[in-house]
Amino acid sequence: MKIKLIYMADGLFLYKTDDGYVVMNEFGFILKSAKSIKTCQRYIQLELQSRRTAERYAIEKTHQDQNTNCPI
């Protein structure tokens, strides 16, 4: 099977294969496979958006915890 890297975004790798497209993580696990590149690109966009949302939530939670523990 022939695999060609198209691009990488934050540890998500999009490859072109003989029969479609594959999204893999940095450990080599297949996260998504599809016939269309748009399907895989959409998967990557949603995954990155989910990570950003989780990161924002964690930062806000940390700030809230710091404010409640601050004796002012």
- pLDDT for 61 equals 85
What's the domain range around 52? 4-69
pLDDT digits (tens, 9 = 90+) for 3-59: 899 999 999 999 999 999 999 999 999 999 999 999 999 999 999 999 999 999 998
**Band of pLDDT at residue 62, cut at 50, 70 and 90:** confident
CA–CA separation, 5 and 9 (whole Å): 12
Does the predicted TM-score (pTM) go above 0.85? no
Predicted pLDDT of residue 64:
81
Asked if residue 72 has pLDDT above 60, the reply is no
Domain count for the chain: 1
Query: What does the alpha-carbon distance between residue 57 and residue 64 come to, in Å, rounded to a whole number?
Result: 10
From residue 23, alpha-carbon distances to 8, 19, 48, 51, 64 in Å are: 9, 13, 13, 16, 36
Q: What is the number of H-type helices and E-type strands within the chain? A: 1, 4
CB distance 43 to 61 below 8 Å: no
